Amino acid sequence: MKMNKTGEKVILFCVDRVVMGGIAKVLLNYLSQLNSMGYKCKVASLTDVSDSYFLQYFVEHSIELCVVGIHVPPRRRRNFLACWIYRMRREAAKIPTRFALVEYAWDCDVVIDFCNFGFSPYLAKLPQRKIGVCHGSITFFKNYVSKGNIDIYDRIVCLSHAFIRDFKRLYPRWVDKTYCIYNPIDVEEIRHLGSMEKTGSPTPYFVAVQRLNALDKDVPAVIRGFALFKRKHPEYSLVIVGDGPQLDELQELVTNEVANGSIIFTGQLDNPYPMIRSAQALILSSTLTVGGGLPTVLIEAQALGVAAVSSDVPSGPAEILMHGEAGYLFEAGNPESLAQVLENIERHPEEREGKIRKATENLGRFSPSEAISRLEEIIQTADL
């Protein structure tokens, strides 16, 4: 790999936005690890970064940040003229974005599109080696990503072996250029954060930590599944951590399904780990149309010694939970299936403990050192 004038190897990460969530956590983990190894890291974002946590992080770690995109408000009307104007404005916005990226990336050795190939319209003519990262499932890729030009990338990184298997069937020409890297998780840091507070809950509860967005998350299935379970176990409650556009709809559903206030919405929490650590189990429910890439929250629950429950969607949840050996899987969109899983957790604590032990024994799969070693290998081979 070549070096810039200061002798540093420079890597540019391209993102659509920097907001609190699983992808941002993974990005920061990579930035920290690469910085400590002598790389210079830069971040190009399509939208403004307003969160003070990230702004402070970039300053403290000497990471350059550049906003390269021009915001185009979404169309509000569906008539032909409004849609045509919207498309023209989007296309026009690509031109300055492309020029800004060319200028910002001139001294970079490798460009990593950390945006599900979303930067392909802007990166095509850049001379640097390019690595594309898909954070979603194979279903997400086929439904929302595959129309992009993935041929501009020298390497493709995805998050699960199941994704790679299906991806290579779709694109056999990519067999030798596709790699799997599990999301890196700092287990000790998560455990430290999980021990910082006590929830003090006198009753057992389940917890769901996820975006309240109907596009990719199926929170109604969690609410309905828990409501079925609660008929036999009134002492239990459900805590839903997160925020999103579906909040009002979900609160109305809770009123209809469970009338005694046993489902609690906390909103977004800066540190959800104490809440997870004290739960009987963590529940994650995703939609089949989008699936799940490699949901970080399932691994975080395992790091905290908590049973992880997930809908069985492509591509990553089953791999994280070792197809049921290290957690519980239920049929996507099926509240009755989830209720049965919760019943098993209640009735068979020894089975739950066995799954937790299995998960703990296999946390090394997600170590930052393992992930960064794989990423560095891919960066080096992309530069050949």
For the ranges 160-169, 193-202, 258-267, 300-309, which has the lowest average pLDDT? 193-202
b/e code 85-109 from CB counts within 10 Å (16+ = b):
ebeeeeeeeeeebbebbeebbebbb
Stronger pLDDT, 344 or 216, i.e. the higher one: 344
- What average pLDDT does this structure show over 45-53? 86
The tokens of 109 are what?
């050795």
Q: What letter does residue 184 receive in the DSSP assignment?
A: P
Q: Do 91 and 121 reside in the same domain of the chain?
A: yes
Q: Do 93 and 14 reside in the same domain of the chain?
A: yes
High-pLDDT (> 90) share of the chain, %: 56
Stronger pLDDT, 76 or 207, i.e. the higher one: 207
What pLDDT digit, counting tens, does each position of 59-103 carry?
Answer: 999 999 988 875 445 555 566 666 656 566 555 555 566 778 888
Q: How confident is the model at residue 112, as a pLDDT?
A: 96
Q: How confident is the model at residue 143, as a pLDDT?
A: 83
Q: What's 297's domain CATH number? A: 3.40.50.2000
Which residue, chain included where needed, has tokens 């989008």?
Answer: 290
Q: Do 95 and 68 reside in the same domain of the chain?
A: yes
The pLDDT-based confidence of 4 (bands split at 50, 70, 90) is: very low
Q: Do 230 and 139 reside in the same domain of the chain?
A: no
Q: Do 22 and 114 reside in the same domain of the chain?
A: yes
- What average pLDDT does this structure show over 206-228? 94
For the ranges 1-5, 112-116, 197-201, 260-264, which has the lowest average pLDDT? 1-5
In a domain, 285, yes or no: yes
What pLDDT digit, counting tens, does each position of 16-26 carry?
Answer: 888 777 788 88
The tokens of 321 are what?
């939970």
Spell out the residues 6+ positions from residue 284 whose beta carbon is closer than 8 angstroms to its own.
208, 209, 210, 292, 295, 297, 298, 308, 309, 310, 311, 317
Q: Do 358 and 373 reside in the same domain of the chain?
A: no
The pLDDT-based confidence of 357 (bands split at 50, 70, 90) is: very high
Q: Do 248 and 371 reside in the same domain of the chain?
A: no
Q: Do 351 and 374 reside in the same domain of the chain?
A: no
Helices (H), ranges, the chain:
22-36, 52-60, 80-104, 120-123, 138-140, 161-170, 187-194, 219-230, 247-257, 273-277, 296-303, 317-320, 335-347, 349-361, 368-382
Domain count, the chain: 2
Q: Please give the Cα distance from 380 to 384 (Å, whole number).
A: 7
The pLDDT-based confidence of 53 (bands split at 50, 70, 90) is: confident
In a domain, 193, yes or no: yes
In a domain, 130, yes or no: yes
195 phi and psi, to 5 degrees? Answer: -95, 0
Q: Do 298 and 374 reside in the same domain of the chain?
A: no
What pLDDT digit, counting tens, does each position of 222-273 carry?
Answer: 999 999 999 999 999 999 999 999 999 999 999 888 767 799 999 989 899 9
- DSSP one-letter string for 45-92: ESS----HHHHHHHHHTT-EEEE-----PPP---SHHHHHHHHHHHHH
Domain that holds residue 265: 187-364
Q: Do 212 and 156 reside in the same domain of the chain?
A: no
High-pLDDT (> 70) share of the chain, %: 88
Q: How confident is the model at residue 95, as a pLDDT?
A: 56
In a domain, 3, yes or no: no
In a domain, 4, yes or no: no
244 phi and psi, to 5 degrees? Answer: 160, 175
**Bridge partners, 13 (sequence order):** 43, 112
- What average pLDDT does this structure show over 298-319? 96
- What average pLDDT does this structure show over 125-139? 91
Q: Do 215 and 348 reside in the same domain of the chain?
A: yes
In a domain, 164, yes or no: yes
The pLDDT-based confidence of 203 (bands split at 50, 70, 90) is: confident
In a domain, 234, yes or no: yes
Q: How far from each other are the two terminal CA atoms of the chain, in whole angstroms?
A: 8
Report the Cα 171 to chain-centroid distance in Å: 24
In a domain, 70, yes or no: yes
Q: How confident is the model at residue 72, as a pLDDT?
A: 45
Q: Do 137 and 196 reside in the same domain of the chain?
A: no
The pLDDT-based confidence of 110 (bands split at 50, 70, 90) is: very high
